[in-house]
Structure 1
């Protein structure tokens, strides 16, 4: 079968070498060759469209001859072959004896894949990653990033003798930091059901050993979550945002806790906007102490 673009070429072109108009289409190599001088005028073109009809998702998957994209979210990156234990290649049901045999082969195949300790580690870790991602509503690209970070840590033998779950949580936090996704360490620790101080240690180890350079969190990043917790209006948030911008220009908040700065700016914005919010409520929303909040309020007023 001649590709449409090749057929157009044959009908509309002349040989650039001898100006001949007679061509041969080599079906094996996909090349178009001039009959007069033998010059190859066009190479094979790979057709990327489907040459078969499919009307449902299942039909597309069954007729496709390629697998899905490679992913770090599967312990073998999706490269292993999966075989059906109930139907043959024609879609016909297997008899009971053959089906039992295929089940045994599938079990042996799974056991052989788990012989490697790293594969066993990855299977446990990626299952935990899926659980945390579901709990925190983490998008797919971030889950992929976290899985990649964990794999790198595993390659460097950083997890030997340490908690898999803590390193998974630390990898999720590292991915969030690198992609500027607002997920606090406390929220990730709660989702993973692990101590956040231990997760923090694992995170710092990952950053140090893998040479990661996460961007520094600023106060602006924490404003939306605090505003949401306090049910404040957008106008109050904009006033607080303006205060933070001015304080940054003056260099008054460099090196200070960004979450406390955000809380202090919101407190002053509430006062300026006539919204009654006490210190205690803002401290609870920002998870900071009243002493720290008062100090940061003083910094913004200076």
Structure 2
């Protein structure tokens, strides 16, 4: 029990609720030793145990002088998750055969969702499914749902591919979270009829409407994934990572597909380690063409280590 002794000479320190009646002495036994149970809001006599007052809670809060103190003392806030809030309302059901026509009509209209709510419901469901298939954290799905809500409020979805915007929101969320996922990866997990071109177009619209600057995809971040697909040993992966770091430090990779750079580093690392692998196999695993792979291999020539064993 959360309780404290109430001084008989100070009533205000005992009861902070202005509606409560101040009591100094127990009317049953004339005892002045009273205890206030702050958890239950009761005033109790220590001698006879009589409950003298109920509901004497402290409704006052400490004053906040800074923005940080105001934020820390808030008792409410934004929804916990952007995935669960789809603006559902109370559903009317007229199951009785003798229900009035007005009630049946109201129940029928109440069961119909607006275009915005139907759109949001299907989009959020697809976002959760795609993110689950990609194996990305829940935060990515929540961020993607937040992006979709914003563009829906901006009225930019009219006449555009909804599935394309779903894929674009997921891709943008992966980019801002620095999670290496490509448009092709997202496109493969999309259930609806859409194309990777639709996702790219909607992605450019997203960047323009939301005014978001996304970080550049690092080739080093993609390396472990494609090395795992090719089942390469750790020594080869480490060598490819060193070559990638040297390549990015020496060259300007802006505008170049990072998958092509990764493919070239992995292929050259395999060649240096005397591991048999074909250009076609590496290019297919990384999602690039053999022409792109050969072009990037030529750019790696100045940084190929002279002593491969080190």
Length-normalised TM-score, structure 2: 0.68
Give 1:202 deviation, angstroms. 0.6
Q: Contact (CA 8 Å) 1:30, 1:43: kept in 2 or not? A: no
Q: Contact (CA 8 Å) 1:23, 1:32: kept in 2 or not? A: no
Does residue 223 of structure 2 align to residue 223 of structure 1?
A: yes
**Deviation digits for residues 96-155 of structure 1, max 9, x if unmatched?**
969x98xxx899669537443211221222222233233323332111111100000101
Give 1:21 deviation, angstroms. 6.1
Length-normalised TM-score, structure 1: 0.70
Aligned pair in 2 of structure 1 residues 269, 157: CA closer, same or farther (>3 Å)?
Answer: same
Structure 2 counterparts to residues 39-58 of structure 1, below 5 A: 43-44=58-59
Q: Contact (CA 8 Å) 1:189, 1:196: kept in 2 or not? A: yes
Which is higher, the Rg of structure 1 or of structure 2? 2
Q: Contact (CA 8 Å) 1:219, 1:258: kept in 2 or not? A: yes
Q: Contact (CA 8 Å) 2:87, 2:117: kept in 1 or not? A: no
Give 1:162 deviation, angstroms. 1.5
Give the structure 2 partner of residue 161 of structure 1: 159
**Deviation digits for residues 171-228 of structure 1, max 9, x if unmatched?**
1111111111222111211111421011110111111111111111021122122111
From 109, 128, 138, the equivalent of 1:130 is 128
Distance 1:118 1:232 in 2: 48
Does residue 180 of structure 2 align to residue 177 of structure 1?
A: no
**Deviation digits for residues 21-56 of structure 1, max 9, x if unmatched?**
666643857999897xxxxxx95489xxxxxxxxxx
Structure 2 counterparts to residues 140-159 of structure 1, below 5 A: 140-159=138-157
Distance 2:105 2:81 in 1: 23
Higher mean C-alpha deviation, range 133-142 or range 201-210? 133-142
**Deviation digits for residues 61-117 of structure 1, max 9, x if unmatched?**
xxxxx9x95432235357x4589x9xxxxxxxxxx969x98xxx8996695374432
SS in structure 1 at match of 2:86: coil
Aligned pair in 2 of structure 1 residues 106, 158: CA closer, same or farther (>3 Å)?
Answer: farther
Q: Contact (CA 8 Å) 1:253, 1:299: kept in 2 or not? A: no
Q: Contact (CA 8 Å) 1:248, 1:254: kept in 2 or not? A: no
Q: Contact (CA 8 Å) 1:173, 1:185: kept in 2 or not? A: yes
Distance 1:277 1:43 in 2: 74
Distance 1:249 1:33 in 2: 76
Does residue 276 of structure 2 align to residue 276 of structure 1?
A: yes
Give the structure 2 partner of residue 199 of structure 1: 199
Distance 1:29 1:135 in 2: 58
Give the structure 2 partner of residue 92 of structure 1: none
Distance 1:71 1:107 in 2: 34
Aligned pair in 2 of structure 1 residues 296, 81: CA closer, same or farther (>3 Å)?
Answer: same
Q: Contact (CA 8 Å) 2:91, 2:110: kept in 1 or not? A: no
Distance 2:120 2:105 in 1: 19
The count of residues paired between Structure 1 and Structure 2 equals 250
Give the structure 2 partner of residue 89 of structure 1: none
Distance 1:34 1:270 in 2: 87
From 71, 79, 83, the equivalent of 2:81 is 71
Aligned pair in 2 of structure 1 residues 244, 203: CA closer, same or farther (>3 Å)?
Answer: same
Give the structure 2 partner of residue 26 of structure 1: 15
Give the structure 2 partner of residue 61 of structure 1: none
Distance 2:143 2:125 in 1: 15
